[in-house]
Amino acid sequence: MGVEQHITSDEEVLDYCTTDYWAWVCTDERIIKYRSNNNREQLDDISIDEITGISLTNTDKSETLLGYSILTTIGTVLLASFALINIAPPISFLSLGVAIVPYWFYKRWKRSAESYFELRGTGLIQQEPEKWRIQSGGNRDEVRSFVKTIREQI
């Protein structure tokens, strides 16, 4: 079953977009957030009347993840240097396995900056604002068009 099954016959679909995890649908009456995986559906919706605005939010990269990346890199270099000067030869195998940790933190840090549209309003939006964030994963032009359609409705 798709999101189409949840749209009533008296609703008109105005626009839609897909992000990494969700399909978003704007009708003349409400905004629907939908996904389906492993035969399990998840649907949230809010009335257009509850929306008072939409904000674009950009967050900086996480300083914490950068710190972890630096610290684990230093630790890995120290571990490898001990192995190289034969203080602890068994550590050489361990240092190869541990070398992935700084890389993992670095990749997470590189992707830690976020950009999303956040619906503002009353009711459910005010109670669970993080639920009503439209992440810009997917086709950015499609997301921008979707946001523009919502703005025209409010």
pLDDT, tens digit, 9 for 90 and up, residues 1-13: 588 888 989 999 9
| Domains held by the chain: number | 2
From residue 62, alpha-carbon distances to 65, 66, 111 in Å are 5, 7, 9
15 and 48 fall within a common domain: yes
149 and 131 fall within a common domain: yes
* Opening angle at CA 18, ends 13 and 23, nearest 5: 60
100 and 127 fall within a common domain: no
pLDDT, tens digit, 9 for 90 and up, residues 21-79: 899 999 999 999 999 888 899 999 999 999 999 988 887 887 888 888 888 888 877 77
> CB within 8 A of 94, min separation 6: which ones?
79
d(CA 51, CA 125): 8
Query: How buried is residue 48: exposed, middle or buried, by Cβ count under 10 Å (0-12/13-18/19+)?
Result: middle
Q: Can you give the residue range of the structural domain that contains 45? A: 3-59+114-153
Whole-structure pTM value: 0.67
146 sits in which H/E element: helix 140-153
d(CA 103, CA 38): 32
